Amino acid sequence: MANSRFEYVKDFEQPDVLLPNTWIVVRIDGRGFHKLSDHYAFKKPNDRRALDLMNEAAVGVMKDLPDLCIAYGVSDEYSFVFHPTCQLFERRNAKLVTTIVSTFTAYYIHLWSKYFPSSSLQPPYLPSFDGRAVIYPSSRILRDYMSWRQVDCHINNLYNTTFWTMVLQGGMSNTDAEQELKGTVSADKNEILFKRFGINYNNEAEIYKKGSVLYRQYELEEPRSVHPPAEEEASPLDSKQSRSQQDKLKKLRRKAQVVIDHVDIIKDGFWERRPWILSNKPGTLPVEA
Amino acid sequence: MANSRFEYVKDFEQPDVLLPNTWIVVRIDGRGFHKLSDHYAFKKPNDRRALDLMNEAAVGVMKDLPDLCIAYGVSDEYSFVFHPTCQLFERRNAKLVTTIVSTFTAYYIHLWSKYFPSSSLQPPYLPSFDGRAVIYPSSRILRDYMSWRQVDCHINNLYNTTFWTMVLQGGMSNTDAEQELKGTVSADKNEILFKRFGINYNNEAEIYKKGSVLYRQYELEEPRSVHPPAEEEASPLDSKQSRSQQDKLKKLRRKAQVVIDHVDIIKDGFWERRPWILSNKPGTLPVEA
Amino acid sequence: MANSRFEYVKDFEQPDVLLPNTWIVVRIDGRGFHKLSDHYAFKKPNDRRALDLMNEAAVGVMKDLPDLCIAYGVSDEYSFVFHPTCQLFERRNAKLVTTIVSTFTAYYIHLWSKYFPSSSLQPPYLPSFDGRAVIYPSSRILRDYMSWRQVDCHINNLYNTTFWTMVLQGGMSNTDAEQELKGTVSADKNEILFKRFGINYNNEAEIYKKGSVLYRQYELEEPRSVHPPAEEEASPLDSKQSRSQQDKLKKLRRKAQVVIDHVDIIKDGFWERRPWILSNKPGTLPVEA
Amino acid sequence: MANSRFEYVKDFEQPDVLLPNTWIVVRIDGRGFHKLSDHYAFKKPNDRRALDLMNEAAVGVMKDLPDLCIAYGVSDEYSFVFHPTCQLFERRNAKLVTTIVSTFTAYYIHLWSKYFPSSSLQPPYLPSFDGRAVIYPSSRILRDYMSWRQVDCHINNLYNTTFWTMVLQGGMSNTDAEQELKGTVSADKNEILFKRFGINYNNEAEIYKKGSVLYRQYELEEPRSVHPPAEEEASPLDSKQSRSQQDKLKKLRRKAQVVIDHVDIIKDGFWERRPWILSNKPGTLPVEA
């Protein structure tokens, strides 16, 4: 082949396979969304249309990639989770991350006009996202990762809600509000909201307080420990399933509806009633009414 | 901070900084474009609209990222090249790759209706791209990489042109055409085109035969060796330029027009007349008429 | 500092920290030991002096590095295991591997004359070892790794014992023995040994059949499941122990004697009676007589 | 094979091939040599026996590994350099580093009694070394790395010489000497040595001031630029040499004597007269008298 003289350059591509039997989290973040949200006049502190757009794009990703078992989104970021037994793209890092980033971007741009019908996209103000993969060796740590993001959601939303209420309803300057909030704890912010503005933070919409969690919907199960003995967990043999078994599971997962929930994922309850998320074994499809 | 209990999960993120003073090539590829091009009825063997869309999306990426010094596209793939002195995102692999993949996807989806006004995008048939970064330690090898892609373009285009002419004009079945072309060399395909269909392959459009090369336009220079003595090449000190110097260069690069060319990039001529591509030192802006 | 002009070269050193909360196995192998064992006339199929030398060198490594929780040796290879909570050298790959390889080599050369008093070392026939680190995400997989090595020991030793008995006692040529053994299973080899040479393989020395396992000795415990619920296993907080706690544990580990055992490490029994190996929590020191 | 059930654990070994066509430097460092040099009473500021031992061990490594083109040692550290075309161990990082660390350690321990006949090695005070590989994309940067180490040698030796002269000849306490030297520049230290102790630093032994450089000896050549045009440098095709060509070169390299020099390697002169070091093409063997 005439091309062979130059083909040695392929030797410079370095393998990037992620360690087997570990959870893979791909987290993506909006690039320059601060400037972007100004340009397209997103509402403060939360723009419901922007969040719904994020969520629908994420549902699109979940449907395109049935290997994903759960996703969690807040603000302009989204985390997508692959099970330790996942063999998609032979677990190649760049392939997994770029596929998710690109698919998400494609949905986001494609769906934009549905959520922002009156402000069309104008280059160079095109929304885009960067991403990275991180691996976690156990379910315990994966759950701590998810908790980390939800706690972050809470902390940021309480701050933003208070800040923007002080500015928009209280007429304070950005600088003054920022200054007053410096060093405050949660209780202080709750009090500012309640005492000055009559706002009970607990009554804020769940989507703002809890973020959005996406998963495939099966019949909820009776709570039982989600932590099987270690020897059952992440059994390496699962990743050696026959191709046909894997395809069968993939089909089952495709059948399940992807739901968008705004609930606590820090406590055990969420995971105990939805054991299929950590086990990756499809549950019982809900009986349709 | 209430979050600290879970923050240890950040320790699992592993650094992915690319080796300093090496060329970075980010190559992206359309995902499932075979199926996609059927779905949206791309013309065979080349769909000019699809190529123009790829090119305009790539120009968008070049404009958004002035650190890019050259890009080369063919079919549904594009290679974007950063100079060895590039410090963008501290040379973090995932950040560089995902930014390019996402920006490209955003432009591609956004510009789709301009090039395919009569066939609107329908999920799940949304175009998306995957990508990877590869580093090359010298200009010589970077040029061999570019040559590799252009030779590949030539080989594939000659094959596809012959194959589709045999099918579309010659009325052969796909299988028969494939069978006949098995084992043929370039000369054979040229002859089939000429003898049977009166087509001189040399007269085919340059964009199909050569692919598309994108770079910033300055005044062409008198050819001289593009290979400075090794001690000048990729001087490590360049990457230690002051921030203000870098910003100045970035501004100069932004001013230059990004052009789309369909020319030979294998021979020295292209590089000798455009020394700014390998040196990364902006040339002289053309005098406007 | 006069040196600063060149100090940029340090930026080329790339981080190599191993993923947190995973088991680290450093396996070392003798380099060219086939030739070496000929040169120094090691006995076939097993040279007890050579194995004892390997074992004493490994004990030296275990004593120098109290972070090691277990080691397993067979022939000219040794596997050293660090616990998921290990923070030694900030878990830097090269540092961990080279320290073990170098310390082992130092002991091996230093102790050589004790085990081979009549054949002194002659360059370039100096024994040396290469090594690599592999990480495993769960205790289950770590144990499978250990089982893999012990099964390998068994398979190789049965083969070698049969082969060398056929050659040394049976007077066969190497080629003939090799030829006859091709395709045989364990039962065949056991039969050859027994029928032709009256050797019951089961009566061979345990060190040859089982290899050598090294660990710190505490009071054996009543068997109980070694697999705690997953939420207890590899608790990430363990790795966040205070420096003083870690130092205290390190001291306790130093006090324990390192023993050399030749027992089954595939079944649960070994691990259940020595829970400190997987838990990394020092047990009760044996009461001295 | 009975072993197959556990063999999946091999999938956890991750590739670590170093980027092609780059210089590989393996630097090793003595572990805890401060304590060790006290224990074995090394002379201050330099112990000639200890340096000669380091050098003879390094010569052993150079002879064992003909792929090495140069090495540089100072104090208890040594840097070994492989050419960009090196294919040894398929350029696997761990294999290259551990082989050098282990071979060096083996020689060091083996040769100890030759240089320290009256103080025999006593565990746990066995000398050992750690190491790491770093890759450099061009000859220019490789030379800057070498310069960095030699400048470091100079700075440290000037400091140590001054410090120990103040303590040993001047009768100062360690603390006082340290205090007085804080913030001084080279000229200050030269003056202290000369004015107070009549020592002209320039007359110190070259091995202390310049460190030790090891390379294969061929006929010196007339100085000419060591920097060939970039297109000649590190030609990727060199690494594609036929196996037989490589073996021939390896043999030629084995024939050359490894010399220990104490000369300036920062200026061009050293490299220009020994072009074989950077080109990796064996020179002319000296005519023996």
B248 touches chain D (CB under 8 A): no
Q: What is the mean pLDDT of residues C257-280?
A: 96
Sign of CA dihedral A256, A262, A265, A270: negative
Q: What is the β-pairing status of strands C212-217 and D77-82?
A: unpaired
Q: What is the mean pLDDT of residues C119-144?
A: 97
Contact B228 D230 (CB under 8 A): yes
The pTM of the full predicted model, rounded to 2 decimals, is 0.94
Q: How far is B17 from chain D (nearest CA, A)?
A: 14
Quote the strand ranges of chain C, DSSP E: 23-30, 68-74, 77-82, 129-136, 212-217, 257-261
For residue D4, is pLDDT > 80? no
pLDDT at position C241, please?
65
pLDDT at position D225, please?
62
D7 touches chain C (CB under 8 A): yes
Whole-number Å distance between alpha carbons of A127 and A40 = 11
C195-210 residue pLDDT tens? 999 999 999 999 999 9
pLDDT at position A38, please?
96
pLDDT at position B230, please?
47
C145-164 residue pLDDT tens? 999 999 999 999 999 999 99
ipTM: 0.94
Most B-contacting residue of C4, C5, C6, C8 (CB-CB within 10 A), to test interface? C8
For residue C289, is pLDDT > 60? no
Q: In Å, how far are A7, C38, C108, C260, D186 from C57, measured between CA atoms?
A: 47, 21, 5, 12, 45
On whether A80 is known to bind a ligand per the annotation, the reply is: no
Whole-number Å distance between alpha carbons of B8 and C235 = 12
pLDDT at position D232, please?
45
Whole-number Å distance between alpha carbons of D281 and D285 = 12
B232 touches chain C (CB under 8 A): no
D257's CB contacts (< 8 A; 6+ apart) are D216, D217
Which residues in chain D have Cβ-Cβ distances shorter than 8 Å to A236? Answer: 8-9
**Greater confidence, C225 or D286?**
D286
How many beta-carbon pairs under 8 angstroms link A with C? 65
D134 touches chain C (CB under 8 A): yes
Which residues in chain B have Cβ-Cβ distances shorter than 8 Å to A124? Answer: 60, 63-64
pLDDT at position C252, please?
86
Quickly count: other Cβ atoms within 10 Å of residue D247's Cβ: 11
Whole-number Å distance between alpha carbons of D19 and D135 = 8
On whether B29 is known to bind a ligand per the annotation, the reply is: yes
C286 pLDDT band (50/70/90 cuts)?
confident
B129 touches chain A (CB under 8 A): yes
D163-213 residue pLDDT tens? 999 999 999 999 999 999 999 999 999 999 999 999 999 999 999 999 999
Contact B20 C14 (CB under 8 A): no
**D43 φ, ψ to 5°?**
-75, 150
**Greater confidence, D62 or A285?**
D62
C60 pLDDT band (50/70/90 cuts)?
very high
B81's CB contacts (< 8 A; 6+ apart) are B23, B24, B25, B26, B68, B69, B70, B71, B72, B142, B146
For residue D72, is pLDDT > 90? yes
User: Which range among A132-136, A221-225, C225-229, D119-123 shows the weakest confidence by mean pLDDT?
Assistant: C225-229
Q: Rounded mean pLDDT of chain C?
A: 92
Comparing alpha-carbon positions, the chain A residue that sits nearest to B6 is A148
Mark which residues 65-94 of B lie under 8 Å from D by CB: 84
pLDDT at position D145, please?
98
Residues of chain B with pLDDT under 50: 1, 229-232, 234, 238, 289
- Nearest by CB to D8, from A15, A19, A236: name it: A236
Q: In Å, how far are A103, B129, B262 from B61, measured between CA atoms?
A: 17, 14, 18
Tokens describing residue B154: 């030539």
Which residues in chain D have Cβ-Cβ distances shorter than 8 Å to B231? Answer: 140, 227
pLDDT at position C232, please?
45
For residue C59, is pLDDT > 70? yes
Q: Distance between alpha carbon D2 and the CA centroid of its chain, in Å?
A: 47
Quickly count: other Cβ atoms within 10 Å of residue D195's Cβ: 9
Which residues in chain B have Cβ-Cβ distances shorter than 8 Å to D234? Answer: 137-138, 140
Q: How far is B229 from chain D (nearest CA, A)?
A: 5
Q: What is the β-pairing status of strands C212-217 and D68-74?
A: unpaired
Q: What DSSP line would sit under D167-222, residue for residue?
A: IIIT---HHHHHHHHTT--HHHHHHIIIIIH---GGGS-HHHHH-EEEEEE-----
Chains that touch B (3 or more CB pairs under 8 A): A, C, D
Contact C152 D3 (CB under 8 A): yes
Tokens describing residue B258: 């990004």
On whether B30 is known to bind a ligand per the annotation, the reply is: yes
- Nearest by CB to C19, from A135, A228, A235: name it: A135
Q: What is the mean pLDDT of residues C39-43?
A: 97
Q: What DSSP line would sit under chain D, residue for residue?
A: -GGGGGGGGGGGPPP-BPPTTSEEEEEEEESSHHHHHHHTT--SS--HHHHHHHHHHHHHHHHH-TTEEEEEEETTEEEEEE-TT--GGGGBHHHHHHHHHHHHHHHHHHHHHHH-TTS---TT----EEEEEEEESSHHHHHHHHHHHHHHHHHHHHHHHHHHIIIIIT---HHHHHHHHTT--HHHHHHIIIIIH---GGGS-HHHHH-EEEEEE--------S--BTTTTT-GGGGG--HHHHHHHHHHHHHSEEEEE----SSHHHHHH-THHHH----PPPPP-
CA angle, corner B235, sides to B240 and B232, nearest 5? 150
Whole-number Å distance between alpha carbons of D237 and D243 = 13
pLDDT at position B250, please?
83
Comparing alpha-carbon positions, the chain D residue that sits nearest to A237 is D8
A236 touches chain D (CB under 8 A): yes
Residues of chain A with pLDDT under 50: 1, 229-232, 234, 238, 289
B113-149 residue pLDDT tens? 999 999 999 999 999 999 999 999 999 999 999 999 9
Cis peptide before A45 (omega within 30 of 0): yes
pLDDT at position B225, please?
62
How many beta-carbon pairs under 8 angstroms link A with B? 160
User: Which range among C35-39, C84-88, D233-237, D248-252 shows the weakest confidence by mean pLDDT?
Assistant: D233-237
Question: What percent of chain C clears pLDDT 90, i.e. is strictly above it?
Answer: 82
pLDDT at position B232, please?
45
**Greater confidence, C59 or C253?**
C59
Residue in the block written with tokens 């706002």: A199
